[in-house]
Structure 1
Amino acid sequence: MALIEVKNLSVFFEAGDRIVQAVKDVSLSVDAKESYGLVGESGSGKSTILRAICGLAPISRGEILIDGKPLETPRGRAFTRRVQMVFQDPYASIHPRHTIDRTLSEPLAIHGIGNTDARVVQALKDVGLPESFRFRYPHQLSGGQRQRVAIARALMLEPEILLLDEPTSALDASVQAETLNLLNRLREERGLTFLMVSHDLAVVDHMCERVLVMQHGRAVEEMEHGALANASMKTDYARMLYEASADRMLG
């Protein structure tokens, strides 16, 4: 049985006097410890799927299951212990007036988990940051360092699943590679399951065993990593995305 199942999901939003269908009847499944990618241009609905899993977007039709059980609305503490999300912009997702220590300690306090100091120090070490960063503020860190803090925060509760919403797109190219390698290492060490959104097939090629290509809210094509690496996609849209990323994939 898959760890994550999305069944016939549709998400509608009201935009003034009209209804926008952001996701249209999408199904996918992610096995435990797998890294699964959602890829497509801006507006394809891929990030909306992550937000629906977290309860941040409405499920208009269909259902989402974790371990075969439908998700509760609103999501409870048990969900946040198992599932955490890393957002695209680390500066926007981390409170600018909180120290890194407070940012990392807060999930532990909410869930009544002790041994805070040791856990915070270890979390920084796990993402390659020195202990001295504990009492810095986000504006004192680089973009790559802030994203490492965001990843550390997501891991504080030792979740099984990370939802990754364009986690490197706001970073410089060299920092992107470092961050992706960090995520791959953490997944291997902790047995994590990734559901990762990207507009860039080169990123998905580096990270994911399977990928679902999306366009205008619909699922266009699902590919195994081997098919992606061999450029054996079946749809014109998937091939267009591949050609746009081909140089970085070959590099």
Structure 2
Amino acid sequence: MALIEIDTLSVTFTAKGRPVRAVKGVSLNVAQGESYGLVGESGSGKSTILRAICGLAPVSGGTIRIGGQPLPHPRGPAFSRQVQMVFQDPYASLHPRHTIDRTLSEPLAIHGIGNTDQRVTQALNDVGLPPNFRFRFPHQLSGGQRQRVAIARALMLEPSILLLDEPTSALDASVQAETLNLLNRLRAERGLTFLMVSHDLAVIDHMCDRILVMQHGQAVEELPREALARAEMKTDYARSLFAASADRMLGA
């Protein structure tokens, strides 16, 4: 049984009094321990799927199940302990007036989990940051360090699933690989399941076992990493994404 099951999901927003279908009947399954990628251009609906899982987007059709169970609305504490999200911009996702210590301690306090000092210190160590970072503020950290804190915060409740929304796109190229390698290590050590969004096929190829290509809110093509590496796409759109990604890498 898949850990994440999405069946004919539709998400419809209202913009200027008119309905906008951001996701149109998308289905996918993610096995426990798998890393699954959603790739496509801006506006393809890939990030909206992550928001729908978290209860942050208006689902107009279809079902989402975690561990075989449909998700409640609102999501509630049990969901937070099983599923966490890492956002694109680490500076925007961290409270600017909260120390790193408070940022990491807060989920524990909300869920009544003790042993805070040891857990915070261990979380920083797990993402490669020294203990004295506990009492710094986000503006005192580099972009890569802030994203490491965001990852540590997502792991504080020991979830089994991480939703990753363009987790390296706001970082310098030199820091991107370090962050992706960190995520891969944590996945292996903790048996995590990833559902990851990116517009960059090179990132998806590095991170994901299977990929779903999306366009205009619809699923275009699903393919395993091996097919991506061999450029064995079946659709013109997927081939065009691959070509654009290859051109960016050559131009870098």
| Pairwise TM-score range, normalised by the shorter structure | over 0.9
Partner of 1:144: 144
Aligned to 1:205: 205
**Can you list the C-alpha shifts for 1:202-249, whole angstroms capped at 9, x where unaligned?**
000000000000000000000001100000000011011111122677
Q: Match for residue 108 of structure 2?
A: 108
Deviation readout 1:93-128 (Å, 9 max, x if unpaired): 110000000000000000010000000000000000
> Once superposed, which parts of structure 1, at least 4 consecutive aligned residues long, lie more than 3 Å away?
247-251
Count matched residues: 251
Q: Output aligned runs, 1:144-223, within 5 Å.
A: 144-223=144-223
In the alignment, what sits opposite 1:18? 18
What is the CA distance between 1:166 and its match in structure 2? 0.2
Q: Cα RMSD over matched residues?
A: 1.2
**1:58, distance to aligned residue in structure 2 (A):** 1.1
Gaps of 5+ in 2: none
Aligned counterpart, 1:2: 2
Distance 2:85 2:23 in 1: 19
TM-score by length of 1: 0.98
Specify the SS of the correspondent of 1:44. Answer: coil
Give the letter aligned to residue 197 of structure 2: V
SS of the residue 1:174 aligns to: helix
- 2-structure distance, mates of 1:119, 1:69: 30
CA–CA distance in structure 2, aligned partners of residues 206 and 250 of structure 1: 17
User: Per the alignment, in what secondary structure is the counterpart of residue 214 of structure 2?
Assistant: strand
CA contact (8 A) 1:205 1:249 kept: no
Q: Distance in 2 between matches of 1:228 and 1:29?
A: 19
What is the TM-score when the length of structure 2 is the normalising length?
0.98
Hey, what's the Cα distance between the residues in 1 that align with 2:128 and 2:160? Answer: 21
Number of the residue aligned with 1:59: 59
Tell me the distance in 1 between the aligned counterparts of 2:250 and 2:183: 21
| Deviation sequence 1:109-156 (CA, Å, 0-9, x none) | 000100000000000000000111000000000110000000000000
Q: Determine the C-alpha separation between the residues in 1 that align with 2:249 and 2:78.
A: 38
Structure 2 residue identity aligned to 1:245: S
1:247 and 1:4 mapped to 2: Cα distance? 33
